[in-house]
Structure 1
Amino acid sequence: MADPQNPPETQANSSPFVQVPIEITISVGRARPTVKELLQLSQDTVLPLDKRIEDPVELYVGDKLIGRGQLEELEGDSQGRLAVRLTEIADLKSGL
């Protein structure tokens, strides 16, 4: 039963589970080689994906799509690491 003095959003934010780290997988595209092509893969092989560099990437927690975004280089990072700028976020209030 909901507590009128403590709305559900507040209850969720005070839960000990909000501190549990989760892993978000970023999908940049898919490759669909044949079995023959798969068996011929070697170092330096270029595996074409079904997306272009400017296409949005998809963010997943497990197999649940939670958002989309654009890849970019992490600003101010001398190592050239990638980041994702979120452009769409799923309604997560209904759960993952």
Structure 2
Amino acid sequence: MTDNTPAASDADDWASALAEQTAASAPVSEPTVAPAAAQVFQQIQDTPAASAATTPVDIARVLDVPVQLTAEIGRTRITIKNLLQLSQGSVVELDGLAGQPLDVLINGYLIAQGEVVVVNEKYGIRLTDIVTPSERMQKLARA
């Protein structure tokens, strides 16, 4: 006679999961590598650093990775007292000047500068200057 109580079925599920894990972690004579992983690591190991710039990169692997894009017009520092005094219609002065390009950041890193545009009654950014990787490195070194 079997016990069909929820606690008994949970115990059976845990027991079968533990058995599967134990069987999967049994020592193997040769290390096994998934075919896709082996192909990726083989490509990386076989590619010399000098020819890495000329070989095509499979960028499709990262095309669906979400990133956060931020357009920064300017910044300011205010005290908590002044923050609490803000209300609808208050104006907060920023360090950016009118007409100055705004910074476009991806995950907090400056990648471009641009200007604000309005398209179909929605704000947008027209990129005017893309920051090269070498320029980014120089800015990081100065900071």
**Superposition TM-score, scaled by structure 1 size:** 0.72
Per chain length, whose mean CA-contact separation is higher, i.e. which structure has more relative contact order (CA < 8 Å, sep 6+)?
1
1:84 maps onto 2:129 in alignment:
no
Distance 1:66 1:81 in 2: 22
Letter of the 2:100 counterpart: D
Report the residue type matching 2:127 in the other structure: L
Q: Tell me the residue number matched to 2:67.
A: 22
8 A contact 2:67–2:107 mirrored in 1: no
In the alignment, structure 1 residue 39 sits paired with structure 2 residue 84: yes
SS of match in other structure, 1:16? helix
Aligned equivalent of 2:99, options 48, 51, 54: 54
Q: Following superposition, which runs of at least 4 residues in structure 1 exceed 6 angstroms of deviation?
A: none
Deviations 1:29-57 (A, max 9, x none): 11222332112112221112112331100
Q: Which runs of 5+ in 2 are unaligned?
A: 1-45, 135-143
* Counterpart amino acid of residue 115 in structure 2: Q
Within the candidate set 67, 71, 82, 2:112 is matched to 67
Q: Percent identity?
A: 29
| Residue aligned with 2:57, SS | helix
Runs (5+) with no aligned partner, structure 1: none
Give the C-alpha shift of residue 23 in structure 1. Answer: 2.0
Decide whether the 8 Å contact of 1:12 with 1:18 is kept in 2: no
User: RMSD over aligned Cα, in angstroms?
Assistant: 2.4
**Aligned residue type for 1:90:** V
- Work out the CA distance in 2 between the residues paired with 1:12 and 1:56: 33
Q: What is the number of residues matched between the two proteins?
A: 86
> Which structure is larger by alpha-carbon Rg, 1 or 2?
2
Separation in structure 1 between the aligned mates of residue 115 and residue 125 of structure 2, nearest angstrom? 5
